[in-house]
Structures are given as C-alpha cells and as structure tokens.
C-alpha cells in the first residue's frame, strides 16, 4: 500500500509511523453514523456557474517564460516512453 502511494504521488515515504498514526486518528470518523447524510462539497449550495463562449487574449509569451526547459515555444522534457 505504502509503495503504491509512493508511486501514485511521485514521492518517497520516510515517516511511516507519523502517517500511520494520523490515519489511525482520522479513523474516528467511523464512530458516527452518517447513513442518509448528503456529503457537503459546496458549503453554500452553489450551482450552475458558467460563462459565455468568448475568446479572451492572453500573454502566452509571459507564461512560457517560467518554463525551465524549452525548444522554441515547445516545453521540453526527457523522452516520454509509451508504447
């Protein structure tokens, strides 16, 4: 499990103990019955937020400036291997 978490998050895990104790702590959520309770994801019940289909110009050059490695206006990474 931990090894898979490492891969999924692209991070090494070094303090299993702390993580385990935190996960054990949050397990106390199971002490309460939540049958039929609707999960709360938007605290004020917001809905139906959208915008018109309009194009706005943007400064792509400024945004690209932050990229550590470029080739022309492409962003460059080590070779991606997939079949």
Partner 1 sequence: MDFEVVIGLEVHLQLATKSKIFCSSSASFGGEPNEYIDPVTFGLPGALPVLNYKVLEYGIKMGLALNCEINRFNRFARKHYFYPDLPKGYQISQFEEPLCERGRLDLFINGGWRSIGIKRIHMEEDAGKNIHDSRTGSSLIDLNRAGVGLLEIVSEPDIRSPEEAGFYLKAVRQIARYLEISDGNMEEGSLRCDANISLRPAGTLQFGTRTEIKNLNSFKNVEKALEYEIARQHKILKEGGKVVQETMTFDTSNLTTRPLRSKEESSDYRYFPDPDLPPLVLEESLIESIRQELPSLPNERLKTLTEGFGLSEYDALVLTAEKASVDFFQAVFDVCNNAKLASNWITSELFGRLNKEGKELKDSPITALALGQLISLITDEVISGKMAKSVFDEMYETGESPDKIVEKKGLRQLDNEDDLLKLITKILDANVDQLATYFGGKDRVFGFFVGEVMKETKGSANPKKVNELLKREIEKRR
Partner 2 sequence: MVKKDISSRELTEKALKDIEKNSNLNAFITLCADDALKAANEADNLRAKGDTRPLLGVPIAVKDMILTKGVKTTAASKILSNYIPPYDATVVRKLKTAGAIIIGKTNMDEFAMGSSNEHSFFGPVKNPWDTKLVSGGSSGGSAVSVAARLTPFALGTDTGGSIRQPASLCGVVGIKPTYGRVSRYGVVAYASSLDQVGVFARSVEECALLTETISGKDEFDSTSVDITPVGEIKFGIKGLRIGIPKEYFTEALDPIVNSLVSEALNNLRSLGATLVPISLPHTDLALAAYYVIAPAEASSNLARYDGIRYGIREEAEDLFSLYANTREAGFGSEVKRRIIIGTYVLSSGYYDAYYKKAQQVRRLIQNDFLDVFKNSCDVIAAPVSPFPAWKLGEKVSDPLKMYLSDILTIPVNLAGLPGMSIPCGFTSDRLPVGFQLIGKPFDEKTLYQVGATYQKETNFHKELPPGVEDGF
Per CB under 8 A, the list member of 3, 54, 57, 65 interacting with partner 2 is 65
Structure token pair of residue 39 = 């999960």
Q: Does 34 bind partner 1 (CB under 8 A)?
A: no
Closest separation in Å from C-beta 15 to partner 2 = 7
- CB of 2 or CB of 79, closer to partner 1: 79
CA-CA distances (angstroms) from residue 2 to 7, 14, 18, 22, 26?
9, 10, 13, 14, 17
Q: Does 73 bind partner 2 (CB under 8 A)?
A: no
Structure token pair of residue 37 = 């309770």
């Amino acid at each position: 499990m931990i090894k898979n978490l490492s891969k999924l998050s692209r991070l090494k895990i070094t303090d299993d103990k702390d993580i385990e104790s935190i996960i054990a702590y949050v397990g106390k959520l199971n002490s309460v019955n939540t049958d039929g309770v609707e999960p709360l994801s938007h605290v004020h019940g917001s809905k139906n937020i959208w915008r018109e289909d309009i194009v706005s110009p943007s400064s792509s050059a400024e945004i690209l400036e932050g990229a550590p490695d470029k080739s022309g206006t492409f962003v460059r990474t080590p070779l991606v291997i997939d079949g």
